[in-house]
Structure 1
Amino acid sequence: MHVDIVPVGDLPAAVKREASSGLRSVYDCEVTIHDNQPVPEGAYDSGREQYRAEEFIELAGRVGSGEKNIAITANDLYYRRRNYVFGLAYLSGNGSVISTYRLQTSSDGGFSERSATDIFADRVRKEVVHEIGHTLGLEHCDNSRCVMNFSPTVREVDVKEENLCGSCQRLVL
């Protein structure tokens, strides 16, 4: 499998590296980094002061060169009536997106003694693995340690592991 990371807007090189590393380690796939893309026109909702996640998925699917493509942005995303999303993907689709905006809180709530930089890097890896998992047909997993577990808060992202549980692995690997 080939996954193309599509950076949208200004994205630090470290974020691209972490995303690539997470995808390679879990899915053993080829990963490329696309040229930076501008934020999609019409994606910004001035009433919410956020961006529509679907617009970024469409961009990733359109410009990405992989079998699976994931947009990564620092912009704050939402989907439908949710206040925000860390990421979004359509089940078995080829496009997906994650936002680093809400992953950058300085602490993991005392879950570990690691630096904010390390915690943020873990969150990026977990979110890209999670969203690509959806594009591979995986739904949310009930196992709280599985990367495919639904995690609406950063605390829940921090608790889960970067890897697929045995059940999810058997479905895609």
Structure 2
Amino acid sequence: MKYSIFILIFILCCCTNKRENESAEKNQKVIVIQPLGNFDSKQSQKVFSEIKAINPKVILKQNIEFPETSFYKPRNRYRADSIIKSLKNKIGNDSVIVGLSHFDISTTKNNIVDWGVMGLGYMPGKACVVSDFRLSKKNRNNQFYKLVLHELGHTAGLAHCNIKTCLMRDAEGGNPLDEEKDFCKKCKSFLKDKGWQLI
């Protein structure tokens, strides 16, 4: 009798966990990777492979030109907010899209009309954009992947995090990506509930 109760509890726990996992997977959006302009195909393929490890629902698109309205001539760079506005209309409700850029990007921040950024994503949102223009030459590929995860975290609904080693840390105008190790426990738990397959 005693063992029967343990077996019954074990079965109930397994069924509950299976339902929770299935529910989380159902919530996971398709991630669409959209290279912009002359973005390197090997680098976009690398991002695709890395994202696929945490979400099997990922699609890599062919390069497209930057939206015409996104070019900011006075600073010879592209407006991240305009790129996002254009990209979000290219996908369905079950998807989120991330634009990949080699060119510098900017947005309006506080009283600064054209503030250069490494990436931009709204919280929650359907689109984000990242650029490797401001990344260090030394760890560029690793930093770029962290940046992609950071902006996708915003689209999933995560705000900036106060933990300095968390991928959701606010850059505050600098580049702390080498100090960031992983999502903190709280941010990771949030993303797992959204269907991200994080260890």
TM-score of the pair, normalised by structure 1: 0.83
Mapping for residues 63-102 of structure 1, pairs under 5 Å: 63-64=90-91, 67-80=95-108, 81=112, 83-102=115-134
CA contact (8 A) 1:86 1:100 kept: yes
CA contact (8 A) 2:146 2:167 kept: yes
Of 128, 143, 151 in structure 1, the residue corresponding to residue 148 of structure 2 is 128
Tell which has more relative contact order, 1 or 2 (C-alpha 8 A, sep 6+).
Answer: 1
Q: Which amino acid aligns with 1:28?
A: N
SS at match of 1:102: coil
Mapping for residues 1-173 of structure 1, pairs under 5 Å: 1-25=29-53, 27-64=54-91, 67-80=95-108, 81=112, 83-103=115-135, 105-106=136-137, 116=138, 119-151=139-171, 152-154=173-175, 156-161=176-181, 163-173=182-192
Unaligned stretches of 5+ residues in structure 2: 1-28, 193-199
Could you tell me which residue of structure 1 aligns to residue 196 of structure 2?
none
> What are the Cα deviations for residues 94-152 of structure 1, in whole angstroms up to 9, with x where unaligned?
1110011112x33xxxxxxxxx3xx1110110011000000000000011111111123
- Root-mean-square deviation (CA), in Å? 1.7
Unaligned stretches of 5+ residues in structure 1: 107-115
Q: Percent identity?
A: 25
More helix by share: 2
Q: CA deviation at 1:64?
A: 4.0
Distance 1:73 1:28 in 2: 22
Q: CA deviation at 1:55?
A: 1.5
